C-alpha cells in the first residue's frame, strides 16, 4: 500500500473507531433519556421510530441531491449532521416534538454514512483480502462500541455524568470523525449506473428480509425500553448490560462463524428464528408471571 493510501487508511480507521464509540454513547443513554426527560408511553416510543428510521428510506434521495460529493466528503458531511443533531437533542430539546426534529437531523447523518462504510473500506483492501479488511474495521467498531458503553457506565455510576454532557461528548466524537474523513484525499466521483431490480424467483427471500427487518426493529426498539420502563433499570445498568453483551458478542461471533461453516446458513438462520420466539415471549411476559428480580434475570 502506498504511503498516501496508508495515511488515508489510518484516518479512516480512526474515524470509524471514534464514530462507533460516539454512536454507542448515544444508543446506551437514549432510552433512559426519553423516559426521564419526557416520560413518554410505549406508543409514543414506537411512533418515535418513524422520524428515526424514515431517513433510511430518504437517504436514496438525499444522496442523489449530493451527487457532486465523493464518498469520503459525503461521509464527512454525514458525521457533521449526526453531530449537530445529537448536540441539539442534548441541549435544546424543549419539548418532545422539538426533540423529534433534532433526532431526524441526527438520523439523516447516520443513515447516509451506513452504506458508505463498506465501500470506502474496500478501497483499502488488496486483491483477495476484502473480507479481511472489512473484518478489521468491524472488529474496531465492536471494540469502540464496548468502550463507549463502558464509559457511560463509569460516568453515570461514579462521576455523576448527565445526559447533556454525554450527548456533547458524542457530538464532539462525531465532529472529530468528520474532520478525519475530510482529511482523507477525495476519491473520484463515480456516476451511478446500477438499477433497482426485483426478480420473481427471489420472492421468498424478499419476504424473509422484510420479516427479519421488522422483527429486528421491534426488538431493538422495545427490548431496552422494557428494561427502562418495566424493570426501572438505570442508565448505568443498561450501560453494563451493553458492555457485557458486546464482550460476549466478540467471542460468540467467532463460534457462530464456525457453526455456519459446519452446519450451514439455513440451519443457523432457522435456529435463530426459533430461539427468538422464546426470547421475545420472555421479554413480553416474564414480568407478568414472575417477581421483578427473577423476571429481569430471565
The grid coordinates of residue 178 equal 468528520
The alpha carbon torsion through 161, 163, 164, 166 (nearest 10 deg) reads: 60
**Taking 70 as the threshold, does the pLDDT of residue 45 lie above it?**
yes
Q: What local confidence, expressed as pLDDT, does residue 159 receive?
A: 92
Domain extent listing, the chain: 3-191
Q: Is 136 helix (H, G, I), strand (E, B) or coil?
A: helix
Cα separation values, 256 from 57, 107, 126, 221, Å: 31, 30, 26, 24
What's the pTM?
0.85
- What's the rounded Cα separation, in Å, for the pair 186 and 125? 17
> What CATH superfamily is the domain 3-191?
MFS general substrate transporter like domains (1.20.1250.20)
Place 50 in a pLDDT band, splitting at 50, 70 and 90: confident
Give which of 101, 95, 118, 90 is closest to 22, Cα–Cα.
Answer: 90
| Structure-model confidence comparison of residues 121 and 100, the more confident one | 100
Instruction: Tell which residue, 31, 27, 184, has the closest CA to residue 110.
Output: 27
For residue range 235-249, list pLDDT tens digits in order. 999 999 889 988 887
Amino acid at each position: 500500500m502506498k504511503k498516501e493510501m496508508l495515511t488515508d487508511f489510518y484516518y479512516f480507521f480512526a474515524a470509524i473507531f471514534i464514530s462507533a464509540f460516539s454512536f454507542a454513547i448515544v444508543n446506551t443513554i437514549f432510552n433512559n433519556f426519553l423516559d426521564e426527560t419526557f416520560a413518554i408511553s410505549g406508543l409514543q416510543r414506537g411512533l418515535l421510530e418513524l422520524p428515526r428510521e424514515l431517513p433510511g428510506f430518504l437517504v436514496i434521495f438525499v444522496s442523489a441531491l449530493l451527487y457532486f460529493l465523493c464518498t469520503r466528503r459525503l461521509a464527512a458531511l454525514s458525521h457533521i449532521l449526526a453531530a449537530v443533531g445529537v448536540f441539539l437533542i442534548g441541549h435544546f430539546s424543549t419539548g418532545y416534538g422539538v426533540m423529534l426534529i433534532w433526532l431526524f437531523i441526527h438520523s439523516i447523518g447516520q443513515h447516509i454514512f451506513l452504506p458508505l462504510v463498506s465501500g470506502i473500506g474496500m478501497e483499502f483492501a488488496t486483491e483477495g483480502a476484502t473480507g479481511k479488511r472489512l473484518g478489521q474495521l468491524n472488529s474496531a467498531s465492536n471494540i469502540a462500541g464496548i468502550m463507549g458503553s463502558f464509559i457511560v457506565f463509569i460516568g453515570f455510576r461514579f462521576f455523576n455524568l448527565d445526559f447533556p454532557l454525554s450527548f456533547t461528548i458524542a457530538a464532539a466524537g462525531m465532529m472529530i470523525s468528520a474532520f478525519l474523513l475530510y482529511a482523507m484525499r477525495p476519491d473520484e466521483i463515480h456516476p451511478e449506473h446500477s438499477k433497482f431490480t426485483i426478480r420473481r424467483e427471489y420472492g421468498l427471500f424478499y419476504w424473509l428480509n422484510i420479516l427479519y427487518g421488522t422483527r429486528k426493529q421491534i426488538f431493538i426498539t422495545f427490548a431496552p425500553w422494557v428494561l427502562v420502563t418495566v424493570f426501572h433499570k438505570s442508565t448505568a445498568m443498561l450501560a453494563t448490560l451493553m458492555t457485557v453483551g458486546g464482550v460476549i458478542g466478540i467471542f460468540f461471533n467467532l463460534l457462530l462463524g464456525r457453526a455456519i461453516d459446519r452446519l450451514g446458513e439455513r440451519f443457523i438462520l432457522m435456529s435463530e428464528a426459533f430461539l427468538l420466539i422464546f426470547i421475545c415471549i420472555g421479554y413480553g411476559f416474564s414480568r407478568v408471571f414472575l417477581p421483578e428480580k427473577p423476571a429481569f434475570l430471565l
